[in-house]
Structure 1
Amino acid sequence: MTELLWYGLIINERTVVNMKKKYFLLALLLLVLVFSLTGCVPGDGANNEEHLAGFFWGIWHGWIAPISLIIGIFKDNIRIYEINNIGWWYDLGFYIAVISGFGGLSLSRRRKK
């Protein structure tokens, strides 16, 4: 078995194969994540005047708002906010998700002394 010393780490063929598997699985996981997140974006036609988006749709759309914004650059019908919603409850869910997703990041940081 061929071994290579790289920055103090011993790397052999088995390590390289394991690294390739990990990168492949990571790429596959990211691909599945992207497809699952983009499956229910606002404006995709799932909600209309007969079937309005509610509280839980508001939470979901708030969580995927950054992804919806990026997709909206390329597709005109995709927005970060569903127009066909039930009103106040959808707004509450949307804002809870946006605040917890973005504002929660700053709350988790430790203060330096």
Structure 2
Amino acid sequence: MTKTTRILAASVIILLVSACASQIDAGVAEDAGTPGFLWGLWHGFVFPFAWIGSLFDPDIAVYAVPNNGGWYDFGFFLGITVLGGGSWFSSKKKRRKD
């Protein structure tokens, strides 16, 4: 398989899987005090700790429902990828000193 074919196949698979993603209407609210971008950023940053806690305590959630939708999701994504380190730690190659 050529590199172009692999990239195209991966793109099609990603698009098909992302088409299944949805959020129930009851999970999106416009009320004052509903978690928004900044809460999403915070929840994304503390995700690893919240996930470990959720394994032992059913009252701990890793994602706030209800939230205000897209802005909360964007903050959550940034919190996980940027503040949480994302792929930065795995992308650094260790250099050998000769």
Look up the match of 1:53.
35
User: Is 1:106 matched with 2:90?
Assistant: yes
Matches within 5 A, 1:41-80: 51-80=33-62
Which is richer in strand? 1
Unaligned runs of 5+ in 1: 1-48
Counterpart-to-counterpart distance in 1, 2:35 and 2:81 = 19
Once the two structures are superposed, residues 61-111 of structure 1 have per-residue CA deviations (whole angstroms, 9 ceiling, x without a partner) of: 00100100111112112111111211000000000111122223234x136
Name which one, 1 or 2, has greater alpha-carbon Rg: 1
Q: TM-score, normalised by structure 1?
A: 0.49
Higher relative contact order, structure no. (Cα contacts within 8 Å, ≥ 6 residues apart): 2
Q: CA deviation at 1:112?
A: 4.2
Structure-2 separation of matches of 1:81 and 1:64: 10
Q: Does 1:94 align with 2:80?
A: no
Q: Hey, which bits of structure 1, 4+ residues long, moved more than 3 A?
A: 110-113
Between the two proteins, what is the percent identity of the paired residues?
33
Counterpart check, 1:83 vs 2:59: no
TM value normalised by structure 2? 0.56
- Structure 2, unmatched stretches of 5+, are 1-30
Match of 2:90, SS state, is: helix
